Amino acid sequence: MIQAVIFDWAGTTIDYGSQAPIIAFQQAFHHFDIDIPTADIRQDLGLDKLTHVKKMMAQPEIQSKWEAKYPTIPIEEAVIQIYRQFQSDIVTVLAETAKLKPGVKA
């Protein structure tokens, strides 16, 4: 008799297309007036989120946007600030995107 079934939930049973982290990353960067295309975020979606922020901030285009807007805040500090903002944003986004994929309940 089966007593339990365990699934990886993000993109498997809910949040079709793994939209939550993409939306939260976009919101976190937008909080600092930097827009990130979805394709750039998707490239490293499986990484832990702090490493993901570091990789995005290592991109020359994103770095130059940050430096133009915040010349006195080093990139290392930017990573921390953006990551903290992501952690805050993901909670709200998950509440909005945590919907069962079609057919999962059945």
Among 3.30.300.30, 2.102.10.10, 1.10.10.10, 1.10.150.240, name the CATH number for the domain at 21-97: 1.10.150.240
Kindly list the domain boundaries of the chain, sorted by start residue. 21-97
Nearest CA to 69 among 87, 83, 81? 81
- Whether the CA torsion 76, 81, 82, 83 is positive or negative: it is positive
User: In this predicted structure, what is the pLDDT of residue 73?
Assistant: 96
Using CA atoms, how far apart are residues 73 and 14, in angstroms rounded to an integer?
Answer: 37
- Whether the CA torsion 81, 38, 99, 2 is positive or negative: it is negative
Given a cut of 80, whether residue 12 has pLDDT beyond it is no
Q: Which of the residues are catalytic?
A: 8, 49
Q: Which pLDDT tens digit goes with each residue over 78-105?
A: 999 999 999 999 999 988 888 888 887 8
Q: What is the pTM of this model?
A: 0.84
Token pair for 10? 């993000």
Please compute Rg for the chain using Cα positions. Answer: 16
